């Protein structure tokens, strides 16, 4: 007898060691069915068999499932706000500023922060930038730091010139210079199931909540708030909101920015 989608989700979550129920389930179903079509798979059992026994298929399923879209200075107005209203305060108030990009995708988000701090003249020894994502492939590409036109489209020309080299292959690709790359540390982490480090001054969690169920969003907002120092900031994506920030000991300071109460 063939199994239904719910049974598939239960079993796939165990095989992948990833709680698929934490994501908006209709989207999980659409994505799963799209991978199945692409591979000519007709039943959920067949899909589970491949997830169990074929490492390449497993990676391909995860690739399809996690949306890695990202770009430097995504929604530039928010990065302007960060640069003009938050960063200097953080450095004034803290001996060492701890910044966490979670999830970081291809690295353009944490590298944007590294560029911004370099431009402001802050010393590498005065801050730490950690960047986490669940997807090993995207982390590998983040560590390489090579980008296409779309990813760099919001970078002002003089900064593009200063911090990137045009890569030597035939495509127009931009290779981030070592000077910026070395300022970001990458790690693999499942944000839904793993514990968080504490004492962050700024946590950037953008374009992730949109994929999650309300329950998981709430539990992550609690976890992020607990991981911030009092007075620390949580920076969300443009279409993401916390409806009752006081429930999490946060207050809204600007569109997409929340601050943990002192
Ligand atoms: C749309 S990207 C967001 C990247 C970046 N923050 C931005 O706004 O440009 C979403 C990322 O979430 C990652 N992701 C999905 N589930 C995750 C999980 N459980 N733990 C950590 N990262 C996850 C994906 O691999 C993907 O890179």
Q: Which domain holds residue 33?
A: 5-65
Which residue's CA is the nearest one to ligand 1's atom 3? 207
75: DSSP letter: S
> Taking the alpha carbons of 110, 75, 193, 47 in that order, is the dihedral positive or negative?
negative
- Give the Å distance between the CA of 188 and the centre of ligand 1: 11
36 with 121, same domain: the answer is: no
168 with 250, same domain: the answer is: yes
Atom of ligand 1 nearest to the CA of 190: 20
Instruction: Check whether 1 has a pLDDT greater than 80.
Output: no
User: Given the structure tokens 């799209």, which residue do they identify?
Assistant: 34
> What whole-number percentage of the chain has pLDDT above 70?
98
133 with 211, same domain: the answer is: yes
29 with 95, same domain: the answer is: no
136 with 231, same domain: the answer is: yes
100 with 131, same domain: the answer is: yes
How far is CA 146 from its chain centroid?
17
Question: 191: number of CA atoms within 13 Å, CB side?
Answer: 31
For 73-101, write each residue's pLDDT tens digit. 999 999 999 999 999 999 999 999 999 99
Instruction: Give the strand order in the sheet containing 174-176.
Output: 146-147, 174-176, 164-166
Give the pLDDT band of residue 21 (cuts 50, 70, 90).
Answer: very high
User: Given the structure tokens 């179903």, which residue do they identify?
Assistant: 29
209: DSSP letter: G
Atom of ligand 1 nearest to the CA of 208: 10
- Give the Å distance between the CA of 192 and the centre of ligand 1: 11
For 110-124, write each residue's pLDDT tens digit. 999 999 999 999 999
Residues flanking ligand 1, CB < 6 Å: 66-70, 74, 103, 105, 109, 133-135, 138, 189-192, 206-208, 237
Q: According to DSSP H, which parts of 73-175 are helical?
A: 76-81, 87-93, 108-119, 136-144, 149-152, 157-163
82: DSSP letter: I
For 142-153, write each residue's pLDDT tens digit. 999 999 999 999
Query: Is residue 180 in a domain?
Result: yes
């Amino acid at each position: 007898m063939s199994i239904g989608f719910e049974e598939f989700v239960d079993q796939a979550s165990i095989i992948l060691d990833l709680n698929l129920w934490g994501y908006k389930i209709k989207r999980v179903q659409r994505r799963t069915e799209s991978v199945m079509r692409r591979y000519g798979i007709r039943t959920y059992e067949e899909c589970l068999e491949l997830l169990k026994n074929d490492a390449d298929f497993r990676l391909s399923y995860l690739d399809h499932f996690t949306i890695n879209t990202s770009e430097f200075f995504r929604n530039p107005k928010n990065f302007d706000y960060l640069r003009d209203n938050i960063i200097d305060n953080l450095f004034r108030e803290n001996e060492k500023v701890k910044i966490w990009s979670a999830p970081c995708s291809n690295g353009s988000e944490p590298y944007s922060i590294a560029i911004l701090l370099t431009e402001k003249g802050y010393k590498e020894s005065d801050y730490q930038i950690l960047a986490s994502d669940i997807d090993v492939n995207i982390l590998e590409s983040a560590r390489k730091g090579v980008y296409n036109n779309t990813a760099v489209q919001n970078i002002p020309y003089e900064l593009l010139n200063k911090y990137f080299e045009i890569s030597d292959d035939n495509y127009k690709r931009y290779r981030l210079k070592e000077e910026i790359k070395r300022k970001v540390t990458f790690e693999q982490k499942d944000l839904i199931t793993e514990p968080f480090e504490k004492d962050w001054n700024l946590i950037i969690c953008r374009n992730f909540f949109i994929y999650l169920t309300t329950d998981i969003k709430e539990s992550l907002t609690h976890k992020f708030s607990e991981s911030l120092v009092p007075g620390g900031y949580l920076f969300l994506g443009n279409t993401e909101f916390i409806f009752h920030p006081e429930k999490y000991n946060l207050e809204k300071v600007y569109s997409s920015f929340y601050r943990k109460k002192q």
